[in-house]
Structure 1
Amino acid sequence: MKEDIFERRESKVRSYCRNFDTLFVRATGSEMTDADGKTYIDFLAGCSTLNYGHNDPDMKAALIEHIERDGVAHGLDMYTDAKAEWLKAFEQYILEPRGMDDYKIMMTGPTGTNAVEAAVKLARKVTGRTNVVAFTNGFHGMTMGALSLTGNAGKRRGAGTGSVGLTGTTHLPYDGAFGDDVDTLEQIEMMLDNPSSGVDAPAAFIFEPIQGEGGLNAASKEWMQGIARLAKKLGALLIVDDIQSGCGRSGKYFAFEEAGIEPDIITQAKSLSGMGLPFACVLLKKEHDIWKPAEHNGTFRGNNHAFVTAKVTLEKFWKDDTFQKQVREKAVILTEGLQKIADIIPGAKLKGRGMMQGVDVGTGDLASDICARAFEKGLIIETSGADDEVVKVLAPLTTPVEMFQKGLDILLDSAREAVSSNQMAAE
């Protein structure tokens, strides 16, 4: 049972705790345990912040060792051994194998929205333009600049009446926004090629390869390639927001890899530290690194504790393609499990790609009902989409197959019960 201190002192803005109304005290691997001793399978994973599970033993051991030897905890952007070791590991295991030697790494404040703010700020500085093209159902953060790129009306209302200050952005249709039969790329090109469209020349395009909060819409390879070509044609920078879809969630380290594109800027956060520690950065092409010293900074840029665990993440999971193969195998299991749910709900359809999939059940009420029943049965899972209509699976990528299947079975049972209950209520 939760303590009343939360109701008494914590702001009404809290959200996830309203759906998971219990006091969690322990977490290991793909499970969380509450104060009553009940253990839950975690299919939320900190919204893809815990791709490698809770409290990985190797990361934990490295962090404890660092702390016990009085390793640097906070160092602004000073040179530290922890930073050097992470940079070398990222270069070795991520950049070099993907032919990305021409990227620099910019440390930002420790959250995804900090990375997005820095990316947009740089794009405007490089191009001398203001307008940024974002896409329907996109989510890029909750600070004012990032929120201007975010499409969700409820999130935007948080900025105040009339979404004050959410300017400098043009929202255009994401891949599939108007159905499978409508080519949104063609529409976008027509708008931007028309000098009377009212769309100012963009400083940048920003998109998520898979829209996490927007309903698990996954951009096709062709669409991503088309946006990249269009950005180059117009002299705009291409920013790929890989904060939720990155770090292996799609089946590859970067979710845009299958498209073979080379973004000008890439934002990363969430699972970057590997252990849930705050850590974000921006990857930028060397020719765009025109910052003057301290022209963009932040007190907590470069979390040394996160550097320590992030290095272990790279050495443990990204030294070869074994982990990626395991993720893709689990993605097949996930697709099969979600299809069973879709089969019992008229009009339901699968969304997403890799280990970032869900099922659109048509309404937010039904999706929320399914998730609530799942929580009662010991599964933590949330909804996604403009109307919360998608039951969204973000299980840790390291979840053992047997546990993963058990979670999917709980989800299927919950869906059956919710469908049956809705049918009875309608009669």
Structure 2
Amino acid sequence: MDLGHDAGGDRQPVARRRDGIDVVTEWVAAMADAELAATAADRFRAAFGDEPDGVWAAPGRVNLIGEHVDYAGGLSLPIALAHSTAVAVRERTDGRLRFRSHLGAWDGAVDEVAPGEPSGWPAYLAGVVWAMRRGGVCGNSFGVDVAVVSSVPVGAGLSSSAALECALAIAVADLVGTPTDDAGRCVLAAACVAAENGIALAPTGGMDQAIALRGRAGHALLVDSGDGSVAPVPLDLAAAGLALLVIDTRAPHRLVDGQYAERRRSVETAATVLGVPTLRYASEGELGQLGDLLLARRGRHVVTEIERVRETLRLLESGNVRDIGPLLTASHISLRDDFEVSCPELDSAVDAALAAGAHGARMTGGGFGGSAIALVDAADVERVAGQVLSNARTRGLVDPAFLRSGTGGVAARRLTPVP
């Protein structure tokens, strides 16, 4: 689920002349924390006629590498975006929930929250309160009024669902006085995963919640889904003369139409057949024992992707940032051919970026739409974006939008104090 970009004035079209034709490349800017806080508070006042207790926010993310391995106990390297989702929140003492966003409104009670109820974007908010009540973080009478604002692009697969969950989770924790240190954030991340899996019925792993709650500016975050540990990994693209171009293909990103769940079942079935806890404990050579070509292909992606993460870490630790490019491209090929979660829009973006000189490119996120990333020389960002746009138009695809991603995003945080 992508909550969607609803902030005005921060989509920046840039016109370039190519072959006598004006080509407009659309760049999506992040909202500063002060603007997020003011916009969310204004929406709260308009919706509820009173002041919120505070405003909290959490970032979207891109995953540098390590896709579809979190639910296999694997390794991932996500990066927090500067683009965030904010929630203005006021505590209630009657167990009621009232949510407002540019997508609409939902009112209900925590007692009414159940698998699939509510549906859509309210499920991610209601699920958080449900999970935190179940975990004993808040009492049975706890409820909230929430107004939402997001600067994460709509349909981009940049994890606005986890950003939404984690922003509310950190808000609830602050309101009830539960710890929000790293250990506390680990507990909150688990509650957000439970909300997404149990109420929103999206069978995702925990990578997105980990980066939203435990990320660090200037770093990627090594997420070990086997034991739940995280470790910051320094990543200074600017020092290497590089940039990460994020390409929102605008192909609708869907995780609840059965395809994502089918991939997860395949991975879990393969592990069961091989007699290992997860495919992290399998080798590529063992996959022939599966006796099923489809399961073997699915398993090969997971096993080789985990190894690509390890190799990426080795290169980053040795300062060879530019050399991770071929690993990004190999990841995309594996996701496209073995895991079959790409789509024409994603392939077009990756192909065009590589043809324009990107060091590497890949789809990022769950796939079936969403976004791609390209590792490019910093001086070439706009040129590569222009080639991606041109290629999409040549193929008859919708115009993509673009984000410039450094590693400047910060984890879930309070933007305004509780009075």
Do Structure 1 and Structure 2 share a fold, with TM-score over 0.5? Answer: no
Structure (1/2) with the larger strand percentage = 2
